[in-house]
Amino acid sequence: SQQGEEDPQALSIQEGENATMNCSYKTSINNLQWYRQNSGRGLVHLILIRSNEREKHSGRLRVTLDTSKKSSSLLITASRAADTASYFCATGKAGGSYIPTFGRGTSLIVHP
Amino acid sequence: DAGVIQSPRHEVTEMGQEVTLRCKPISGHDYLFWYRQTMMRGLELLIYFNNNVPIDDSGMPEDRFSAKMPNASFSTLKIQPSEPRDSAVYFCASSIVLSGTGELFFGEGSRLTVL
């Protein structure tokens, strides 16, 4: 079964708006990663947040982590049409080897 | 570095035929993963290797699936015999470490269609 599940399954916004995607997971983790997948391509790593961090920024990306709620969010600010892609979170169980497991992803469409 | 290289990019075959998917990981990466992606089930981990040794194959759906890594620069995923429900995109990924701090590098995938 998937460790991480993204929500919503699909998101459609206008260029310039912010996009927020959420990830929920089941067991304690060491850290959480977000990946992006353009249509027909492989996944590309975006950002990693460790379990002792609450927030992390990278350019227009902002990731938060709430370990008490076992959830994370990815915020893309001032979205662009080029941000259209699927976004996945990847988690690995704490205390053992990190076996990256993914959810079904959030499909983001940014309309120009 | 050219990244993770997968072949073929597309394969169409008939039910019952043998399918072999190939992967060349990034040089120096000790871990190699095979994933399968479908609309229904998302991205599923099939098997992963460490230093060419299979560590966990619990995600392999059934005996029709097998994976090998004869050396550090090459891995195969074989399906024999193939069935229509095997139609999916198969991804290979490699990583330097398995601590959660190392990112996965994915290939572009092999899209398999079994008629």
With contact defined as beta carbons under 8 Å apart, do B51 and B30 qualify?
yes
- Between chains, do B104 and A102 touch, taking CB under 8 Å as contact? no
Pairing state between β A61-66 and A71-76: antiparallel
CA distance A34 to A107: 13
Q: Residue B1 above 80 pLDDT?
A: no
Q: Residue B84 above 90 pLDDT?
A: yes
Query: C-alpha A73: how far from its chain's center?
Result: 6
Residues facing A21 on adjacent strands: A74
Of all helices (H) and strands (E), which one includes residue B95? strand B88-95
Out of B35, B42, B107, name the one closest to residue A2 (CB): B42
With contact defined as beta carbons under 8 Å apart, do B71 and B53 qualify?
no
A29: nearest CA in chain B?
B100
Model confidence pLDDT, tens digit, residues A78-92:
999 999 999 999 987
Q: Residue A65 above 80 pLDDT?
A: yes
Instruction: Please report the number of interchain residue pairs, chain A to chain B, with beta-carbon separation below 8 angstroms.
Output: 57
Q: Residue B19 above 50 pLDDT?
A: yes
**What average pLDDT does the structure give for chain A?**
90
Q: Chain A residues with CB inside 8 Å of B42's CB? A: 2, 102-105
Q: Residue B85 above 60 pLDDT?
A: yes
**Can you give the pLDDT at residue B22?**
98
CA distance B92 to B26: 11
- CA-based nearest distance B64→chain A, Å: 21
Q: Residue A11 above 70 pLDDT?
A: yes
Which residues, including other chains, have CB under 8 Å from residue B84's CB and lie 6 or more apart?
Answer: B15, B114, B115
